[in-house]
């Protein structure tokens, strides 16, 4: 997936309107056809892998945020404890 303007886009998906707007017929050379046959299995599975990768990234981000929140809570607790230990200024 690619992020454009804050939206995740699947680069392997073709918009049907793009297909309708195209008046040219695509003709592949034999070499291009062979290359596409090699790439096709990975491309067909790319959406599923990308979804899984996005999910794993989301989980990692949530875990990282949890660590940051715990650290911030620890810092806040330490500041409160230090504040309570200091006698009030006269």
3-class secondary-structure state, position 3: strand
pTM, rounded to two decimals: 0.38
Cα-Cα-Cα-Cα dihedral of 74, 79, 83, 85, to 10°? 50
Q: What is the pLDDT along the chain (90 residues), one digit of tens a residue?
A: 677 777 776 666 655 554 444 444 445 566 666 655 555 455 445 556 678 788 888 888 888 888 888 889 999 999 999 988 877 666
DSSP H/E element including 19: helix 16-21
At 35, list the tokens.
């290359």
What pLDDT is stored for residue 22 in this prediction? 47
DSSP H/E element including 54: helix 30-85
What pLDDT is stored for residue 49 in this prediction? 64
């Amino acid at each position: 997936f690619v992020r454009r303007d804050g939206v995740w886009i699947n680069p392997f998906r073709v918009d049907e309107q793009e297909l309708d707007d195209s008046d040219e017929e695509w003709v592949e050379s034999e070499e291009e056809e062979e290359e596409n046959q090699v790439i096709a299995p990975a491309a067909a599975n790319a959406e599923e892998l990308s979804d899984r990768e996005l999910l794993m990234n989301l989980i990692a981000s949530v875990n990282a945020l949890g660590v940051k929140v715990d650290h911030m809570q620890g810092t806040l607790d330490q500041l409160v404890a230090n504040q309570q230990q200091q006698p009030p200024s006269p």
